[in-house]
Structure formats: C-alpha cells, structure tokens
Chains A and B, each alone.
Chain A
Amino acid sequence: MLLSRVREERSLQAAGTRQRATPNGCATISRVKNRGPAGLDSASASAVEEEATKPEKMIVCIAVVGHQNNPLYIQSFTEADDALKLHHIVHCSLDVVDERVNNPKKSGPLLNETFLGLLYPTENYKVYGYLTNTKVKFILVTTDLDVKDADVRNFFRRFHAAYVDAVSNPFHVPGKKITSRTFAERVSTIVKAFGLSSAG
C-alpha cells in the first residue's frame, strides 16, 4: 500500500518537474529525484526532506528603474542564463507599479507609502516593489514561497541607503546606469543577508 502511494507521488512529481523546468528548476529537479528512492521509506520522510532542502538563493533579481522607466541597474543572482525572462518580469511589474501609483488605494495612510508590497505573483516568483520620492523604483524578484513582509521592508530600506550613497557620487550622472563597484558589492551583501535571515 505504501509502495503504490509512493508511485502516485512520483508520477505527480514527474508532471510537476516538467512544469517547473524553468531557470530555477535545476534545484527543484534534483530535489524531486532525491525524493524518489528516499520516498520508499515513508511519505512523512519525504515531506521532511522537502522542508530541509530549501531553495539556495531566495532573491533571483533586483532592479532599479528611473522615473522615466529607464533601467538604472539590474542584477540577477541565479546561475541560470535567464536574464531575458527576468528583464521581462521586471518590465511587466513596472506596469503594476504605475497602476498602483495612479490609482492609490482608498485607505488614507497608505497614500505616501514608499513600500508598494507584493506586486504580483507568477508561477515561481514573487515580485515586490518600492517607490522612492523621486519616482525611482526598486523591484525585487524572489523565488521564495514564504517571505515575511518585515524582511522585505528591511531589505528595501538597506537597498535604498546603498542607492543614495551611490547616487551621491559626484561622478554619477543622474539618469544614467549606476556603474559603482561599491554599490554592486553592497547589494550582494544585502542580498546574502536577506537570504540568511529568512532561512532561519
């Protein structure tokens, strides 16, 4: 009876693998494969394994977009070669941002809120937005299923600080891409810190 149950699970997962053979799917596929033989023990053991093997990188991509929707900085953190897909996701999320900005929610205190929150969830990703007073937008794409709101806000706060320092460089031309190496390093530090704090 246990064996048949496992066979059922395996077929479901195989179907799921095909669906999830997207950029981050590398991790997912290997996880499913592992579950195959291990699942022979018991269904509960495989469930535990799922919780133990979380996705390695939570944040897939961050982007800074200027007030004329011109890209100022895009950085992806996956090994896979899906820059185009991420650019597309960021681009789509800009529409959502514009919509939110032009039609503010009726609830009063949110009118001058910089943190836009979850913009839209796709099949694997969640996209968060943040708007500065100068209409510069920060877009965060993450693969995680369970991200705390406070963590994302914290992330954006630190990211905003790094952005302000990068823009204060007298050699930075406003409206042009950010070429500062220090900024890139700080951003990777913040991204790593985000991954570690959420995984705990």
Chain B
Amino acid sequence: MWNLHLKNAELFTLTYGAIVRQLLTDLEDVEEVNKQLDQMGYNIGTRLIDEFLAKANISRCVDFKETAEMIAKVGFKMFLGVTASVTNWDIEGTCCNMVLEENPLVDFVELPDTCQGLYYCNVLCGVIRGALEMVSMKTEVTWVRDVLRGDDSYELQVKLLKQVPEEYPYKDDE
C-alpha cells in the first residue's frame, strides 16, 4: 500500500514538473509563469475546498487562527501527505507563516540559472487562496522562503485581507 503511495507521488511530481516546463516554454517570461501557476492553483483550490470539507469532518472554524491550523495540519496532510507548522502570528491574528517540512512537488528539481525568478511551487499559493475565498475569506498568499532559490526551508505567508460575509443572490422582497 505504501509502495503504491510512493509510485503515485512520483507521477504527481513528474507531472507537475512537466507542467512548469511547458509553461516556461510557452510563456518564456518567469513572472508570467508565476502568475499562471498561481491562477492554476486558484482554480484547483476553489474545487478542492469542497472535497476537503466533505472528507475532513471538522466543525466550523471560529477564527482565522483555527483556519490556518486546519490548512496546515489537515489540508496539507490530506492532499500532499506532508504536515506544515504555523508560526509568526501577528498581533491581530490575521497574518501567519506556514513552514513545510517536506515538499513532494520539488523532488529531483534543480532550477537552472535561466529561471532564477521562478517560484516553482506557486501553485500552492493559489490553492490556499482559492480555497479560502470559497469560504468567504479574501487572502494574499506568498512565498517567504524557497529552498530552490537558496533558502533552507519552504515557508508561505498567509495574510487575511477581508472576511466577506455571505451574500444571498435573492432579494428579500421576492
């Protein structure tokens, strides 16, 4: 069973690598590729949130802190098989950092010198942003540290910009 997991993980890693390579060939501009990866992640995230909520069996989160913990401990575990830890909360409790111990997306990857501005795992930023938007939270997610760019770990910053209350499409007097 574990071997099957490992084989699927490699296929996933290689597929993702192929996507990034193709984007670089098509778009040629590293910044454009970063944006595209984020957009792809966003599209994935908006769909992934339903699956997550259905499978995770968790109660409604009280505040953003709990949400962040959910993403780090349950979300990452469920979809990537890794756990993240949440650190660096600001005073208002709207901004935190998530540190990933491992990152299956980057197995075997080495960035060539021509792609130094690339955020290889930018898709993850998009996924979190998309997923949270579907539960009424507008966020900004960026990479703070990236091993492929020379740092010693993978660290995301998740900032809550606005909590959007749910709007009903129907007017009251109908």
Contact = CB atoms under 8 A, between A and B. Distances in A.
Interface of A: 165-166, 168-171, 179-182
| Residue picked from A166, A168, A181, most chain B C-beta under 10 Å | A168
| Residue picked from A169, A170, A179, A181, most chain B C-beta under 10 Å | A170
Contacts of A180: 110
A179 B14 contact: no
A170 B112 contact: no
B107 A170 contact: no
Contact of B18 (A166, A170, A179): A170
Given A165-B108, A182-B110, A170 B115 contact: no
Interface residues of B, number: 13
Contacts of B21: 170-171
Nearest to B10: A168
Contacts of A179: 112
B20 interface: yes
A118 B17 CA distance: 38
Contacts, number: 28
Nearest to A171: B112
Contacts of A168: 13-14, 17, 107-108
Interface string B103-118: 0000111111001000
Contact of B14 (A170, A171, A181, A182): A170
Nearest to B108: A168
Contacts of B111: 171
- Nearest 8 A-B pairs (CB), nearest first? A170-B17, A168-B108, A170-B21, A171-B112, A169-B108, A180-B110, A165-B108, A169-B110
Contacts of B110: 169, 171, 180-182
Nearest to B113: A179
Interface string B1-23: 00000000000011001101100
23 contacts: A166-B108, A168-B13, A168-B14, A168-B17, A168-B107, A168-B108, A169-B108, A169-B109, A169-B110, A170-B14, A170-B18, A170-B20, A170-B108, A170-B109, A171-B21, A171-B109, A171-B110, A171-B111, A171-B112, A171-B115, A179-B112, A180-B110, A182-B110
A171 B112 CA distance: 7
Contacts of B17: 168-170
Nearest to B21: A170
Contacts of A171: 21, 109-112, 115
Contacts of B18: 170
A179 B21 CA distance: 17
A123 to B, nearest CB: 39
Nearest to A180: B110
Nearest to A170: B17
| Residue picked from B13, B109, B111, most chain A C-beta under 10 Å | B109
A168 B15 CA distance: 11
